[in-house]
Structure 1
Amino acid sequence: MAEPRAPVAPGEVVRVYGLLAWTWIRAAAQYPISMVLLTLASAVVSALDVAAIMVLFTRAPRIAGFTAPEVLFLYGTSALSFAFADAMFGTTERLGKHIREGTLDAMLVRPVSPLVQIATEDFSPRRIGKLIPAVVVLVLTLPRLDVAWTAGRVAMIPAMILTGATIFSGLWVLTASLQFVLIDGHGATKSVTYGGGFMTQYPLSIYARDFVRGVTFVVPLAFVNWQPGLYVLGRPDPLGLPWAVRFAAPAVAVAVCVLAGFVWRAGLRHYRSTGS
């Protein structure tokens, strides 16, 4: 069983995370051409989602009542949030592999949180490539939205990206923690993280109402960009939820992270070493 660790100040965690990530970045920078090509390839692959959306609009002027700029706005905010979370915590999905191979044992005896070690593993600048299409789409789309811009709507844009990234990060750690029990649950975790990233690129009103309720009250993906996005776009909620729900994303993000931290610590406490 893993020994409990003494609490570490958040500032120290951030410092160690940055140090380990910078170490991986410096290693990747030793091969600059490869790093640039991988970054561009990542950007091109991510841009295919934009192409898919544009193809849909060649067949219909609206998707579930949303115009092309509105859907691209949802895509941009979702993709940007997801890319940040992927860069920060995407490799936590490798936890099951470390458990099977016994390499988690080595992480537990180091004076650094195993979560930080796994999250920074193979940290590469190529992940920045996923940010490029999302940023370009937002820059081109925001001026084309047919909304009355107010201080609240303007402030909501960075707020929803930050809270969306936090929700995705919490879900990544939460689903990764389940691999303490479900050792081969890697595919199932991707259905929540990568599947959630793809799903939130589109208006949730294209899905069945029961499904939307599920991603609102069970797996809170609706708070990544849908609920705050409804506020920015001035749209009614198809579920008829109260107006205040559009501003609940920060509280939801905190709740997801608290739950993820609890499940992660519980998994570590009950982890049985492989003896390697």
Structure 2
Amino acid sequence: MADLAAYRAVLASRIRAQRSYRTSFVLDLASSLLVGFVELAEVWVVFHAVTELGGLDLAAVVLVFGLADLAFSLADLSFGHCDTLPTYLRAGTLDVFYLRPQPLLLQLITSDISLRRLARAVVGAAALGVGLAVNDVAWSLASVALIVLALVSGIATFAAMFVWAAGAQFYLIDGAEATNAFVYGGRYAATQPASVWSRPLVVVFGFFFPMAFTAYLPVVTLLGLPGPEWMPTWLGWCAPVAALWAWVLALLTWRAGVRHYQGGGG
């Protein structure tokens, strides 16, 4: 409990620091909210040209977008600053983390928190609410459990992606853009119907980085729609298994990276 209190104190100080500059804080929230609405508007623009995409209509795709975007935004709020690790590596300041009696990964996770990302979560929550309202959902205890399970598993999967990317930086150093292609590219892929992916994307974002399990497959299961031949409908219930695999991959990469690290050289 004493260790947890220390982490809470650090995060509380970060939050107070951001809120102390109110104008800047409001502008950050507004800009983040605008970006979220622009990305949601992309879905509306696409469906001005088509009536169906990968077997899903506009209402179903909004539900996919809302579930994926909310999960990613909440994971980004807590774990998104892990992508600052390359800065610590290049400056040699990561060595300071080793002097503290706390696990390195937990120190990195609690080193910062960006409240502006809450605005993105608002957009995702709004899209999720609208999607649940306009779709013909057969409400039951099982359907509610599926939504909660999918959301929690999606947050865990996206959080694991940030940890995986951080672990890979011990080898790449200046390769943040390479991992961003999978982290943020995976987030974009998760908001789209996986049924339109090519075979290489199915391998990468369907199973290796299980983005299809964060929103598309749970939505297909929730609405009782037929999934692609390589992703049957019942896989929507396997979102926790996908999250577990994502964390196994992330922690193995992190462990290998930490062992590879030899210090800042200073």
TM-score by length of 2: 0.92
Q: Tell whether 2:71 aligns with 1:85.
A: no
Percentage of identical aligned residues: 33
Are residues 243 and 74 of structure 1, via their aligned partners in 2, closer, same or farther at CA, if it must alter by over 3 Å?
Answer: closer
**Residue of structure 2 in register with 1:111 after alignment:** 101
**Residue of structure 1 in register with 2:223 after alignment:** 233
Q: Tell whether 2:115 aligns with 1:125.
A: yes
Separation (CA, whole Å) in 1 of partners of 2:264 and 2:37? 42
Are residues 214 and 263 of structure 1, via their aligned partners in 2, closer, same or farther at CA, if it must alter by over 3 Å?
Answer: closer
Separation (CA, whole Å) in 2 of partners of 1:235 and 1:14? 44
Q: Tell whether 2:205 aligns with 1:218.
A: no
Q: Tell whether 2:20 aligns with 1:30.
A: yes
- What's the offset of the Cα at 1:33? 2.5
Are residues 12 and 52 of structure 1, via their aligned partners in 2, closer, same or farther at CA, if it must alter by over 3 Å?
Answer: farther
**Residue of structure 2 in register with 1:258 after alignment:** 248
**Residue of structure 2 in register with 1:21 after alignment:** 11
> Where does the alignment leave 5 or more consecutive residues of structure 2 unmatched?
none
Q: Tell whether 2:194 aligns with 1:204.
A: yes
Q: Is the 8 A contact 2:62 2:127 kept in 1?
A: yes
**Residue of structure 2 in register with 1:188 after alignment:** 178
Q: Residue 30 of structure 2: which of 30, 33, 40 is its match?
A: 40
Are residues 205 and 17 of structure 1, via their aligned partners in 2, closer, same or farther at CA, if it must alter by over 3 Å?
Answer: farther
Separation (CA, whole Å) in 1 of partners of 2:78 and 2:196? 30
Are residues 114 and 175 of structure 1, via their aligned partners in 2, closer, same or farther at CA, if it must alter by over 3 Å?
Answer: same
Amino acid at match of 1:31: Y
- What's the offset of the Cα at 1:124? 2.5
Separation (CA, whole Å) in 1 of partners of 2:44 and 2:153? 27
Deviates more, 1:237-246 or 1:160-169: 237-246
Amino acid at match of 1:114: L
**Residue of structure 1 in register with 2:62 after alignment:** 72
Provide Cα deviations, 1:59-102, integer angstroms capped at 9, x if missing partner: 22222221111000000000001001111111111212211110
TM-score by length of 1: 0.89
Q: Is the 8 A contact 2:217 2:233 kept in 1?
A: no
Are residues 12 and 86 of structure 1, via their aligned partners in 2, closer, same or farther at CA, if it must alter by over 3 Å?
Answer: farther
Separation (CA, whole Å) in 2 of partners of 1:61 and 1:242? 23
Separation (CA, whole Å) in 2 of partners of 1:12 and 1:193? 33
Provide Cα deviations, 1:194-223, integer angstroms capped at 9, x if missing partner: 111111111111221342233222221111
Amino acid at match of 1:157: I
Are residues 243 and 60 of structure 1, via their aligned partners in 2, closer, same or farther at CA, if it must alter by over 3 Å?
Answer: closer
**Residue of structure 1 in register with 2:158 after alignment:** 168
Are residues 82 and 272 of structure 1, via their aligned partners in 2, closer, same or farther at CA, if it must alter by over 3 Å?
Answer: same
Amino acid at match of 2:190: T
- What's the offset of the Cα at 1:161? 1.0
Question: What RMSD over aligned residues (CA atoms) do the two structures have, in Å?
Answer: 1.9
Any idea what SS the aligned residue of 1:125 has? coil
Amino acid at match of 2:213: F
Q: Is the 8 A contact 1:73 1:137 kept in 2?
A: yes
Q: Residue 273 of structure 1: which of 248, 263, 266 is its match?
A: 263
- What's the offset of the Cα at 1:244? 4.2
Provide Cα deviations, 1:29-56, integer angstroms capped at 9, x if missing partner: 1112221221121111111011111111
